[in-house]
Structure 1
Amino acid sequence: MAYPDYLDPNTAESTRLVTPRNATLLLIDYQPQMIFGVGSIDRQLLLNNVEALAKTALAFELPVILTTIAASSFSGPLIPQLARLFPERDAIDRSAINTWADHRVVQEVRAIGRQKLVMAGLWTEVCLTLPVLSALEAGYDVYFVADASGGSSTAAHDLGVQRMVQAGATPLSWVQLLSELQYDWARKETYDAVNRIVAEHAGAWGTGGFYRATFSAAPDRALAAIG
C-alpha cells in the first residue's frame, strides 16, 4: 500500500495503529448454530458487520484466517457471507473451544509473521475471549472488533469485552478499522473499494456518500460512483 508523499510510514504518530502491513485478521466460528445463539446484537446487523469487516480485509489485502468449530457435528459450515468472499480458502475446523489451542491456527499466525492480530468471532464471551487472552500471553498486540462479534446475551458480550480489555486487548468497531486502514483519503488505490463498502454496509454514511455524489454527477453516475 502506497502512502502519500507527505506521510512517512516509518515515523507514524503511534505504533498502536493498525495498518495494511502490520495486521492479520482472524474470523472465528461464523456458523449457523453460533448465529442462532447470539442475543447481544441484532443478527442481521451482525451479518452485515462481519461481511463489511471481511470486505475491508480484502480491500487492504490483510491476511485472513478462518476458523470453525465442530462444523460437521454441531455448528454447521462457514456462513455464506464469508464463504463467497473467500472461495479458495478453507476454514480450520477444530473441536477445542479455544481457537489458539489448535496448533494449525498458531502455525499460520506465525507463518504470516505479523505482530498485530485483529479478531472477531462468536460467541464473544467464549470463542473470541479465549484466543484473545491466549494471543496476548503469547506476546501479540491483539485487537477485537466488538460490533462484528456477538455474545449469547448482552451481559455475556459485555463481560467478555471487559475481560479482554482488562487483559490488554484493544476494542474496535468495523468502521473504525476501515478508517484506520484507509488512513488518508489521498490513498487512491483503496478509495473506491472503501466507498463501495461504506455504501453497502455503513447505513447513513453510505447514504450521505450518495447524497454528496449527486451534486457532482448525474444521478445514474452517482449510483455507480458509490456502488
Structure 2
Amino acid sequence: MTFEKFNADDTALLLIDHQVGTMGWVKSIPFEEMKRNAIMLAHTARILKIPVVLTSSMEEYAQGPLLSELQSILPIQFEQRVKRFGIVNAMDDVNFAAAVKATGRKKLVIAGVTNDVCTVYPALSLVRDGFAVQVVADAGGSPTQMADDISLRRMEKGGVTLTTTNQLIAELAGSWATPEGGELVQLIIAALQG
C-alpha cells in the first residue's frame, strides 16, 4: 500500500460520539488528552475549511451531550449533527451515511468514542465502500487498553490508516509557512504546553 497524502481540499472529518458520558467510560487514554485532541481536530477543520460531520448516539441517556466546545468551534455542524438512536455503526444510519456522502470527499478522517465500538465499524464500512480512511487513535479511546489495542489492530488489518492528532494536523497543513499553517502550529504548541 502506498502513501496517499490527505489534503484539506480532498478530506472530510467525521467526529463520532464525543459525548461527555461516553468519554467518561474511556480508560485507555486520559480524558483531558482525548478531549484536547478532539477539540484540536475541530479547530483544524475550521481553520482549513474541511467539511465536518458530527454525530451522537442517545444524547438524552447515559451517553450525554456532545462536548460543548464543538458547538463553539463548529456551530453550524453542531446544529446539523446527526442524532442516532442506538445505531452502533454510524454508517448504518441513513442520515449519517447521507451526510458523509454529501461532503463529496473520498478521503475521510475519523475520530470516535469509543474506538472499540463507535469508531471501528464505520471505519471498516467506509474502507469497504472505497474510501481512504485515517483514524485518529488519540482523539478517542476504549474502556480498556486491550479493547483499544484490538480495535486499532482490527482497523489497520482492514485497511484503515492509523494516525495521531499532531501527525494528522501536520499532514493536512503541509506547510507551517502559510497563514493556516501558522495558526495550526500555534494550536499544537498551545496543546503541548498544556
Same fold by TM-score greater than 0.5: yes
**Alignment partners' CA distance in 2, 1:15 and 1:39:** 31
1:30 is paired with a residue whose SS is coil
Task: Tell me the C-alpha RMSD between the 2 structures.
Answer: 1.5
Aligned to 2:160: 169
Aligned-residue offset at 1:84: 1.5
**Which residue of 2 is the match for residue 181 of structure 1?**
172
Structure 2: distance between partners of 1:146 and 1:181: 16
Find the counterpart in structure 1 of residue 148 from structure 2.
157
**Which residue identity lines up with residue 181 of structure 2 in the other structure?**
Y
Greater CA drift, 63-72 or 74-83: 74-83
How far off its partner does 1:54 sit?
1.1
Alpha-carbon deviation of 1:153? 0.8
**Which of 5, 22, 33 pairs up with 1:34?**
22
Q: Distance in 2 between matches of 1:44 and 1:203?
A: 14
Matched with 2:38 is: 50
Tell me the CA shift for residue 196 of structure 1: 2.5
Supply the distance in 1 between the matched residues of 2:138 and 2:55 (Cα, whole angstroms). 18
| Equivalent residues, number | 190
Aligned match of 2:84: 94
Q: Report matched runs for 1:3-18 at 5 Å.
A: 16-18=4-6
Alignment of 1:54-69 (within 5 A): 54-69=42-57
Q: Secondary structure at the match of 2:110?
A: strand
CA distance in structure 1 between the aligned counterparts of 2:114 and 2:105, rounded to whole angstroms: 25
SS at match of 2:62: helix
Name the CA distance, whole Å, in 1 between partners of 2:58 and 2:92: 14
Displacement of 1:19? 0.3
Contact 1:47 1:81 in 2 (8 A): no
2:193 to 182, 189, 203: 203
8 A contact 1:41–1:150 mirrored in 2? yes
Q: Could you tell me how far apart the structure 2 residues matched to 1:174 and 1:202 are?
A: 12
Q: Which residue of 1 aligns with 2:129?
A: 138
- Quote the residue 1:190 is aligned against: 180
Normalized against structure 1, the TM-score is what? 0.80
Structure 1 stretch displaced more, 188-197 or 60-69: 188-197
Q: Distance in 2 between matches of 1:40 and 1:15?
A: 28
In the aligned structure 2, how far is the partner of 1:58 from the partner of 1:191? Answer: 12
In the alignment, is residue 107 of structure 1 matched against residue 95 of structure 2?
no
| 1:73-124 CA distance string (max 9 Å, x none) | 3311111121221223222110201111111111112121111010000010
Q: 5+ unaligned residues in a row in structure 2: which ranges?
A: none
Select which of 4, 13, 18 maps to 1:25.
13
Instruction: Identify which of structures 1 and 2 has the higher relative contact order when contacts are C-alpha pairs closer than 8 Å and 6+ apart.
Output: 2
3-state secondary structure, aligned to 1:202: helix
Taking only the aligned residue pairs, the percentage that are identical comes to 31
Q: CA deviation at 1:132?
A: 0.5
The structure 1 segments of at least 4 consecutive aligned residues displaced by more than 4 Å after TM superposition are none
**Aligned partners of 1:23 and 1:62 also within 8 Å:** yes
The DSSP-based 3-state class of the residue aligned with 1:75 is coil
Aligned-partner residue type, residue 145 of structure 2: T
Structure 2 length as normaliser, TM-score? 0.93
Partner of 2:73 in structure 1?
85
Q: What are the ranges of 5 or more consecutive residues in structure 1 without an aligned counterpart? A: 1-13, 205-227
